[in-house]
Amino acid sequence: MTTKYKFPESFFWGASTSATQSEGRVEGDNKGENIWDYSSKEYNHRFFDGVTTEKTSLFYQDYKEDIDRMADIHFNSFRTSISWSRLIPDGVGEINEQAVEFYNNVIDNLIAKGIEPFINLYHFDMPMKLQEKGGFENREIIKAYKSYAETCFELFGDRVKYWFTFNEPMIPAEAGYLHDRHYPYVVDFKRAATVLHHTILAHCEAVDSYRKKGLDGKIGIIMDVIPVYPRSQNSADVKAGNMADLFYTRSLNEPILLGKYPEELIDILKEHDQLPDVEKNDLELIKQTAVDILGINYYKPRRVKAKDYEINKNGIFSPEWFFDNYEMPGRRMNTSRGIEIYPKGIYDIAMMIKEKYGNIDWFVSENGIGIQEEEKFIENGQVNDEYRIDFLKEHLIWVKKAMDEGSNCLGFHMWTFVDCWSWINAYKNRYGFYRLDLETGEKTLKKSGEWFKTVIDKNGF
Active site residues: 168, 366
Q: Say how far apart CA 461 and CA 458 lie, in whole Å.
A: 7
Fill in the amino acid letter for 383.
V
Nearest to 43 by CA among 425, 452, 424, 441: 424
Cis omega (within 30 of 0) on the bond before 80?
no
Planar angle of CA 82, 283, 365, nearest 5 degrees:
35
DSSP string, 179-207: SSSSTT----HHHHHHHHHHHHHHHHHHH
Q: Give the Cβ contact number of residue 447 at 10 Å.
A: 17
Give the Cα separation of 154 and 146 in Å (integer).
12
* Cα first-last separation, the chain: 9
Instruction: Kindly tell me the sign of the dihedral angle through the C-alpha atoms of 21, 151, 223, 271.
Output: positive
E strands present in 367-423? 371-372, 378-379, 382-383, 409-415
Judge whether 348 and 407 are in contact, CB under 8 Å. no
DSSP 3-18: -SSB--TT-EEEEE--
Distance CA 285, CA 237 (A): 36
Burial bucket for residue 343 (CB in 10 Å: 0-12, 13-18, 19+): buried
Alpha carbons 345 and 227: distance in angstroms, whole number: 6
Closest by CA to 365, choosing from 181, 152, 163, is 163
Which among 365, 271, 286 has a CA at the least distance from the CA of 322? 271
d(CA 188, CA 276): 12
Say which amino acid occupies 225.
Answer: V
> DSSP readout, 56-77?
S--HHHHHHHHHHHHHHTT-SE
Cβ burial 315-326 (10 Å sphere, 16+ → b, else e): eebbbbbbbbeb
Instruction: Specify the pairing of strand 116-120 against strand 162-167.
Output: parallel
For 265-331, list the strands marked E by DSSP: 293-297, 302-305, 324-325
